[in-house]
Amino acid sequence: MRILVLGAGGIGGYFGGRLAAAGRDVTFLVRPRRAEMLRERGLSISSPLGDVHLAMPSLVTADQLAQPYDLVILSCKAYDLEDAMRSLAPSVGSETAILPLLNGVAHIELLEQQFGASAVLGGTCYISTTAQPDGTIVHMNDMHRLTLGDRTGVTSSRVEAIHRQLSGAGFDAVLSDRIVQNMWDKWVFIASSAGMTCLMRSSIGDYVSAGATSLASQLVDECVSVATAAGHSLDDAEVANVRSFVTKAGSTIKTSMLRDIENGAPIEADQIIGDMVRRAASFSLPTPILSVVQAHLKSYEIGRARRLAA
């Protein structure tokens, strides 16, 4: 199976690197500057679960794409999605499966419009990584789970074949018959945790110490209510897990969105928070905390745009 991984950053580089190290036929679609760095230094993963170094990863730039792949793993940020779809278009044929690992669900409709519903699988991942200035991908904990499935809920032979390719490659590959629910579960988790850490501009433990536990719990409730109204109710154990995570005393965790804000980088405010607020409005659900989070993140984006334009 010929696999194209869009990007070689924290997500694509990690899962694609593991797959390539396990002998899978993996090519990375990267920008020219990243291609130059990878040709000089190779692709390196530093992980508590085992390091990986690919001296000569297979690389391609958008202008070099000439034929379809069997599987495209899409791991870009939401704000790069439209450019990504244009870049990878030559790699998508009538039999190509696209596995997106973006947060939220808004990207699914865009991908369907471009490539057709049958091409687009459901996918999500739980992993914390960061890319160092030298290009090394640092895996920050012991979680590296990738879940995929057919969005119809029926596991096809195509999806089973993809799962076999992903299995045994040094990370947890899970085949799900409820992948859309899995995506909503993660969206509620990300919106709650990123929303609170960004609003408070602190780690979870710091805002808990500051007395914001009930605020965090209310944010979870708002996100859960949107999922329920959309027909994707989280089970009690999942809700308890999210609530426990965002109210854990002493937790030093900062979400990747907060780290992006601290570094002056672009953020996925609209995909993760804005879309949740819009869906809440369509169901006439009150979301006072989510709305404050949205305004906070929008204020950051406006200020960042002004600074870049100066």
pLDDT tens digits, residue range 132-142?
A: 888 899 998 88
Q: What is the mean pLDDT of residues 99-126?
A: 96
> Can you give the pLDDT at residue 207?
99
Q: What gap in Å lies between CA 159 and CA 257, rounded to an integer? A: 31
Q: Do domains 2-177 and 182-309 have the same CATH topology?
A: no
Residue 172 burial by Cβ neighbours in a 10 Å radius (0-12, 13-18, 19+):
middle
pLDDT tens digits, residue range 69-93?
A: 999 999 999 999 999 999 999 999 9
> Can you give the pLDDT at residue 234?
98
Number of Cα atoms under 13 Å in the Cβ half of residue 101 = 25
CATH topology of domain 182-309: N-(1-d-carboxylethyl)-l-norvaline Dehydrogenase; domain 2 (1.10.1040)
Q: What is the mean pLDDT of residues 38-64?
A: 95
The DSSP secondary-structure symbol of 120 reads B
Is the per-residue pLDDT at 63 higher than 90?
A: yes
pLDDT tens digits, residue range 188-241?
A: 999 999 999 999 999 999 999 999 999 999 999 999 999 999 999 999 999 999
Question: Taking the CB of residue 131, how many other CB atoms lie within 10 A of it?
Answer: 16
**Tokens found for residue 204:** 């979870």
Domains of the chain by residue range:
2-177, 182-309
Catalytic residue among 77, 186, 248, 254: 186
Percent of the chain having pLDDT more than 90? 95
pLDDT tens digits, residue range 142-187?
A: 899 999 999 999 989 999 999 999 999 999 999 999 999 999 999 9
Place of tokens 């790069």: 80
Q: Kindly indicate whether the domain formed by 2-177 is annotated with CATH number 3.40.718.10.
A: no
Q: Are 103 and 187 in contact (CB under 8 A)?
A: yes
User: Whose CA is closest to 15, among 164, 137, 155?
Assistant: 137
> Can you give the pLDDT at residue 114?
96
User: Whose CA is closest to 101, among 195, 228, 7, 215?
Assistant: 7
Q: Does 186 qualify as catalytic in the annotation? A: yes
pTM of the model: 0.94
Q: What gap in Å lies between CA 126 and CA 190, rounded to an integer? A: 10
Residue 131's pLDDT band (cuts 50, 70, 90): confident
> Can you give the pLDDT at residue 141?
87
Q: What is the mean pLDDT of residues 113-142?
A: 93
User: Whose CA is closest to 126, among 88, 79, 183, 166?
Assistant: 183
Reduced to 3 states, what is the DSSP secondary structure of residue 42? coil
